[in-house]
């Protein structure tokens, strides 16, 4: 997930898509409104899980929860920073019940536990960590109160954080960008003026990706490897030239419901 540093990626929590997955929430940013196919989503999810296993991570696979069509998007339900957790109140009312199993799974492994308070709302998908700086998207899902509570949590842990307005056509900040390592930030070309990354260290290169590869800007870096979505040749070529080893995964069914690579995992040490 996007709050984890590279050394955090030892354990990963994932959850299979449920049979009700076709009813997952979507803005149709990346489709013409087609519903995702459950069986194909399951196959793509299995590949995602196998990738982490092959990379040597300890995978905790949670069972699907049928009453929550979006339950595979575990990233939104917990903000884990160096094994301290902030449990958000997520922005979509239909998704709030997904959190119980996540709380039960994560809590025993955390050094400290913090809770978002009303009227705060924040989704994990609105947080992008670049090295030791956190960028938090103000979006349809994350409000000022939720963001400010999460910023207090970060401040107490010694981290800087900044707020970025997420354009209204996008669900989350992670829908638009990612840092596959602490020196690279991928963003779509047309967001260059809107996404303002305050105080970004000079060592971080912002790479602008053509807008037709916006979905490809969401990646997961693990050591010198980077997981990218299949079909984004500019992203692939640029990251490959940077010396990263590329792992491509098919993501079409998750893309249909605004789900990116990072949305499907929660990492901790
Ligand atoms: N479909 C993912 C979400 O809306 O949270």
Reported as a single tens digit per residue, the pLDDT across 102-158 is: 999 999 999 999 999 999 999 999 999 999 999 999 999 999 999 999 999 999 999
CA distance 23 to 167: 24
Q: Which two tokens stand for residue 225?
A: 């490897």
Q: What is the mean pLDDT of residues 243-268?
A: 98
Q: What is the mean pLDDT of residues 80-91?
A: 98
Q: Which two tokens stand for residue 151?
A: 């910023």
84 tagged catalytic: no
By CB atoms closer than 10 A (0-12, 13-18, 19+), residue 111 is: exposed
Q: How confident is the model at residue 1 (pLDDT cuts 50, 70, 90)?
A: very low
Kindly give, in sequence order, each residue whose CB lies less than 8 Å from that of residue 233, ignoring residues fewer than 6 positions away.
Answer: 213
Q: Which atom of ligand 1 is nearest to the CA of 92?
A: 5
CA 167, 174, 43 angle in degrees (round to 5)? 125
Kindly give, in sequence order, each residue whose CB lies less than 8 Å from that of residue 231, ignoring residues fewer than 6 positions away.
Answer: 216
Protein residue with least CA distance to atom 3, ligand 1: 25
Where are the chain's structural domains? 11-268
Nearest to 238 by CA among 181, 168, 157: 181
| Residues with C-beta less than 6 Å from any ligand 1 atom | 24-26, 70, 73, 92, 171, 257-259
* DSSP code per residue over 232-247: -HHHHHHHHHTTPEEE
Which one has a higher pLDDT value, 3 or 189?
Answer: 189
CA 258, 212, 196 angle in degrees (round to 5)? 75
CA distance 157 to 153: 7
Q: What is the mean pLDDT of residues 247-262?
A: 98
CA distance 231 to 225: 17
Nearest to 78 by CA among 14, 139, 148: 14
Q: What is the mean pLDDT of residues 214-238?
A: 98
Q: How confident is the model at residue 5 (pLDDT cuts 50, 70, 90)?
A: confident
Point out the catalytic residue in the list 71, 72, 114, 172. 172
Contact 267, 9 (CB under 8 A): yes
DSSP state of 111: S
CA distance 245 to 186: 16
CA distance 209 to 215: 10
C-alpha of residue 258 to centroid of ligand 1, in Å: 6
Q: What is the mean pLDDT of residues 2-24?
A: 89
pLDDT of residue 6: 65
> Other C-beta atoms within 10 Å of 107: how many?
12
Nearest to 265 by CA among 215, 213, 220: 220
45 tagged catalytic: no
- The reply to whether the predicted model has a pTM over 0.85 is yes
pLDDT of residue 7: 66
Fold adopted by 11-268: 3.75.10
Contact 74, 264 (CB under 8 A): yes
Give the chain's largest Cα–Cα span: 46
pLDDT of residue 8: 73
Contact 104, 57 (CB under 8 A): no
pLDDT of residue 2: 72
């Amino acid at each position: 997930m996007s709050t984890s540093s590279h050394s955090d990626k030892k354990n990963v929590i994932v959850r299979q898509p449920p049979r009700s997955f076709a009813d997952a929430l979507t803005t149709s940013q990346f489709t013409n409104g087609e519903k995702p196919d459950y069986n194909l989503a399951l196959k793509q999810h299995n590949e995602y899980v196998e990738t982490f296993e092959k990379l040597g991570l300890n995978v905790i696979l949670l069972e699907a929860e049928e009453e929550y069509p979006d339950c595979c998007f575990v990233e939104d339900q917990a903000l884990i920073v160096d094994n301290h957790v902030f449990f958000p109140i997520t922005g979509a009312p239909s998704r709030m019940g997904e959190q119980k199993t996540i709380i039960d799974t994560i809590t025993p492994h955390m050094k400290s536990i913090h809770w978002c308070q009303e009227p705060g709302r924040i989704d994990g998908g609105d947080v992008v960590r670049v090295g030791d700086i956190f960028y938090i998207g103000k979006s349809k899902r994350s409000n000022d109160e939720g963001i400010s509570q999460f910023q207090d949590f970060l401040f107490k842990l010694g981290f800087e954080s900044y707020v970025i307005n997420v354009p209204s056509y996008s669900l989350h900040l992670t829908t638009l960008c990612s840092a596959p390592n602490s020196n690279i930030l991928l963003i779509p070309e047309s967001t260059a003026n809107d996404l303002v990354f305050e105080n970004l260290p000079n060592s971080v290169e912002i790479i602008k990706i053509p807008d037709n590869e916006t979905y490809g800007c969401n990646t997961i870096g693990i050591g010198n490897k980077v997981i990218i979505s299949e079909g984004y040749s500019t992203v692939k070529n640029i990251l490959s030239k940077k010396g990263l080893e590329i792992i491509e995964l098919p993501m079409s069914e998750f893309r249909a419901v605004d789900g990116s690579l990072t949305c499907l995992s929660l990492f901790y040490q």
